[in-house]
Amino acid sequence: MRQPGFLDQSLFAEMARKAAQSPRGRQHHNFHEMDEPCHRMAVGLQPETYIPPHRHQALDKAETLIVLKGRLGLLIFDETGEVTGKRLLQAGGDCPGVDLPPGVFHGLVVLDPDSVMFECKAGPFRPVGEGDMAPWAPKEGEPQVAAYQAWMRAQFD
């Protein structure tokens, strides 16, 4: 039997440290086993991480995000890449989280160093499929990422 997993300042500090050391600027801490039907994780995030606009088309892939520390900018897009909504997600703020239904294009930008969010969605893990990546946004590792990420960040200045 697993022991309780706590979302405490010790975990937040560990996630921030590991995210800062990660080439991608983020680090996951799973509270679930991979075969469980509900995946729950803390994600440490640094401002340099790029979370490209994407969607989860599978009907069982609704996604809930709650900011536990720091601030994230959430952008909602239509099929053509136009921003249809944006929201500041802030720990302890007016809006700390979001519940995203399947099929909604969304992207996140990290606004504060050492941010941590909690994510919950149905398992099992399936990588974001090619049809789920936004065709108008650069993919991770492409040269246009820095400019696109700066544009995403500017939506919250």
Looking up tokens 């519940």 gives 99
Report the predicted TM-score, pTM, of the whole model to 2 decimal places.
0.92
Q: What pLDDT does residue 147 have?
A: 97
Cis check: omega of the bond before 124, within 30 degrees of 0? yes
Confidence check: pLDDT of 69 > 90: yes
What SS3 state is found at 89?
strand
* Whole-Å CA distances, 47 to 26, 112, 132, 150: 9, 6, 23, 11
Q: How confident is the model at residue 122 (pLDDT cuts 50, 70, 90)?
A: confident
Answer CATH for 9-154 from 2.60.120.10, 3.40.710.10, 3.40.190.10, 2.40.50.150: 2.60.120.10
Q: What pLDDT does residue 9 have?
A: 95
Mean pLDDT, all residues of the chain: 93
